[in-house]
């Protein structure tokens, strides 16, 4: 890994990372603040005012129950799916294709760095950035839950849910990263990767509307973030996490090799 390039990426993207971390923190704070185990019926009554299809699409149909189920369904049925996708699209394009598009990659390739080392640095930077955003959010939720409702949150199951969520978003970013490697034009990379990731998100929402659209879940990796299945037993998410993580690593390896062999005019 190239330390100077990693630090440059950090300086260039720190506002983006902080902004998405704060967005996650805001929703986490609101979700815990709204939770009241004695007024679950009031919350369900409020949700009944919304169209059923909308409630199912946003993952709020299972929002009741203990605080673990409440927070998980409130955040990981919609919010923690959408915002990391937007982050991946915004950052993914910057890390390779924008460098090539603006000519900065030409400068990097004239320095004593191998192509593999350059692109590995970019991949590691994203993986760590995504880790910070998701698990800062996890830390806030755990601290707030333990301070307001001691012992109520099943921390192990909640962490397992987040590990699966992280692995899925890492695999999705792998696709964004692959597009960034394949297309030297940053606008084309943004359009293709954005189209793919947003399509996955929309398919996931549509699959929740009714039994007639449920088959759509087989066409989106978000299906792996099966909240109820994972919370039924923390161990239920281990295989999904391992499989998705291996898939993400494989996509990154392919991307690295493509960039290594790619013809770039200097």
pLDDT average, residue stretch 2-23:
88
Please list, in sequence order, all residues whose beta carbon lies within 8 angstroms of the beta carbon of residue 12, skipping any fewer than 6 positions away: 94
- Check if the beta carbon of residue 171 is closer than 8 Å to that of residue 248: yes
Look at residue 28 and tell me whether its pLDDT is greater than 90. Answer: no
pLDDT at 266: 46
User: Which stretch, 54-63, 103-112, 177-186, 220-229, has highest mean pLDDT?
Assistant: 220-229
**Is the Cα torsion angle 229, 46, 53, 171 positive or negative in sign?**
negative
The domain spans of the chain are 3-261
- Check if the beta carbon of residue 240 is closer than 8 Å to that of residue 180: no
**Nearest alpha-carbon partner for 133 in 185, 183, 90:** 90
Name the residue with tokens 């037993």. 233
pLDDT in tens, 48-94: 555 555 555 555 555 556 888 888 888 888 888 899 999 988 887 77
Look at residue 133 and tell me whether its pLDDT is greater than 70. Answer: yes
What whole-number distance in Å separates Cα of residue 186 and Cα of residue 157?
A: 39
The CA-based diameter of the chain, rounded to the nearest angstrom, is 66
Give the count of alpha carbons within 13 A of 68, CB side only: 20
pTM of the full structure? 0.86
Record the tokens describing residue 87, joined without a space: 């982050």
Look at residue 40 and tell me whether its pLDDT is greater than 90. Answer: no
| Position with higher pLDDT, 59 vs 241 | 241
What whole-number distance in Å separates Cα of residue 37 and Cα of residue 152?
A: 10
Look at residue 105 and tell me whether its pLDDT is greater than 90. Answer: no
**Nearest alpha-carbon partner for 175 in 251, 229, 76:** 251
pLDDT average, residue stretch 163-174:
92
pLDDT in tens, 108-126: 667 777 878 888 888 899 8
Please list, in sequence order, all residues whose beta carbon lies within 8 angstroms of the beta carbon of residue 74, skipping any fewer than 6 positions away: 31, 59, 60, 63
* Straight-line distance from the first to the last Cα atom of the chain, in angstroms, rounded to the nearest whole number: 22
């Amino acid at each position: 890994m190239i330390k100077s390039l990693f630090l440059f990426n950090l300086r260039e993207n720190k506002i983006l990372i902080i902004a998405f971390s704060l967005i996650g923190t805001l929703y986490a704070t609101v979700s815990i603040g709204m939770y009241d185990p004695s007024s679950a019926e009031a919350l369900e009554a409020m949700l009944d005012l919304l169209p059923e299809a909308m409630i199912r699409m946003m993952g709020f149909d299972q929002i009741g129950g203990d605080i673990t189920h409440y927070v998980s369904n409130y955040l990981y049925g919609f919010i923690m799916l959408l915002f990391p996708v937007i982050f991946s699209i915004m950052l993914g394009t910057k890390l390779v294709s924008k460098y090539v598009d603006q000519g900065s990659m030409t400068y990097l390739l004239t320095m004593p760095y191998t192509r593999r080392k350059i692109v590995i640095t970019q991949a590691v930077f994203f993986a760590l950035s995504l880790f910070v955003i998701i698990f800062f959010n996890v830390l806030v939720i755990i601290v707030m839950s333990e301070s307001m409702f001691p012992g109520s949150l099943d921390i192990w199951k909640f962490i397992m849910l987040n590990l699966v969520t992280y692995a899925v978003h890492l695999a999705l970013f792998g696709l964004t990263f692959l597009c960034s490697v394949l297309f030297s034009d940053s606008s084309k990379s943004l359009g293709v990767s954005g189209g793919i990731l947003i399509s996955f998100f929309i398919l996931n929402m549509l699959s929740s509307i009714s039994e007639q659209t449920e088959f759509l879940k087989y066409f989106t990796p978000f299906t792996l973030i099966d909240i109820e299945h994972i919370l039924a037993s923390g161990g239920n998410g281990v295989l999904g996490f391992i499989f998705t993580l291996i898939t993400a690593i494989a996509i990154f390896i392919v991307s690295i090799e493509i960039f290594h062999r790619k013809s770039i005019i200097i």
